[in-house]
Amino acid sequence: MGRLRFLFSASGLSLSLFLLASLQVFLVIDAKTDLNPIDRDLYHSSGELMEEIKGLVDRHPDKLTLETVKSKNKGYEAEVAVVTYGRRREEGDDRSKFRILLSFGQHGRELITSELALRILSILSEEQSLPDMDPASLNSSLNKLVIKVVPMENLNGRELVESGDFCERRNGRGVDLNRNWSVDWGKKEKDYDPYEENPGIAPFSEPETQIMRKLALSFDPHIWVNVHSGMEALFMPYDHKNTTPDGVSSQRMKLLLGKLNLLHCHERCMIGSGGGSVGYLAHGTATDFMYDIVKVPMAFTFEIYGDGAASTKDCFKMFNPTDVDTFSRVLNDWSAAFFTIFKLGPHQLGEIPSKASASKLDRWVSIDEYLDGYLMERSSRYGKKKEVFELGMQEIRTYFRLFLLSSALLMFMFCSRISKGKCSRPIVSAIPL
């Protein structure tokens, strides 16, 4: 009986050792697989992608220009490349044309979005083509447009992903750039994830969002699209509440999204407000800022790909296609969708609407927005490298509010004295008694 027990114990030990060895082999293989899941036959590195874009600009100076904007805050520096497309452009000619602003790669792990930016620029430069689009009709539409493309908004975050942190969505110092805008900034839901959704220490604390805000305010686009991955969806405002805007603008957005869903998303895409469709509210997003503050008539967030069956530990596969067929389908479908926007967008809004005709009240912004914008402009107008510290910003805001409050109180007291003086003055009859 003892011998039998020993044999079972030995067998159990051998089995345990075998399982342990197998597990170690599995972990080694799995580690090697996870070491670099980025297929370089499909995806460019960030450096290679920007070199491709620079090559397009160099070969087509009549259509494309490239500007690299840099900003620095508390020792953290970021740069954002902006490609401008426009035919027959002259200095100051942007205001007479329909303006579209597109941003890709706001979250580092969403590599497929920057690949889509490269594809769109290749088609705009006519080095690639859309199979089902009439060239004459397309050229007629493009002549009326100025398109600004930000191919990789979050370069520092992208480099972290390329170094092996495949789940990283934040920028180089751990801030989610799509929570760092001022509309409803800093509010935290019950399911708030401080790692994923860190909004920063203040609105526009990050150089990347400072650059994008300045670009949006100066360019004043008619259409804004923020391109992401993680699912297939066509979102409009709002992200921070479970509702869509009222009025004609909202109806136009819904109509355009319905057409895109039918023509290019094959009715797979979710449509509606980001806050009402995703299942959670997002505060401090770019699209809500574009719609509420910049007054962009048509502001969207597109989600171009997502693998719901992927493991939550396999971030790369969750957000990026990993086989050639899916990769090609995503780029083909969504590049066609954007060219449909280029063609239908001006018609949806009545060619080139005058945004300046909007009510002045609609253009008002908060004190914080004004001060942020003013100080940013002053810090860069003469090319001086100045940093605006958050503590100083808070003090300036406080003093400005106190100034406004004291001015209002003084005006009220002055008006009250005049009113009392008039009431207490004796009434003298003009008719002799």
Q: Active-site residues: which are they? A: 303
Query: How many CA atoms, within 13 angstroms, populate the side-chain half-sphere of residue 385?
Result: 8
The pair of structure tokens assigned to 18 is 């075998």
Q: Which residues pair with 71 in a beta bridge?
A: 78
Rounded to the nearest 5 percent, the helix, strand and coil shares of the chain are 50, 15, 40
Sheet hosting strand 145-150, strand order edge to edge: 64-73, 76-86, 145-150, 98-103, 223-228, 298-305, 231-236, 270-273
Q: Which residues pair with 270 in a beta bridge?
A: 233
Question: Do 81 and 67 touch, CB atoms closer than 8 A?
Answer: yes
Helices (H) and strands (E) in the chain, counts: 13, 8
Query: How many CA atoms, within 13 angstroms, populate the side-chain half-sphere of residue 373?
Result: 18
Long-range pairs, 192-196, Cβ under 8 A, ≥24: 196/169, 196/170
In angstroms, the CA 224 to CA 404 distance is: 34
Q: What 3-state DSSP class applies to 249?
A: helix
Residue 86's identity, in one-letter code, is G
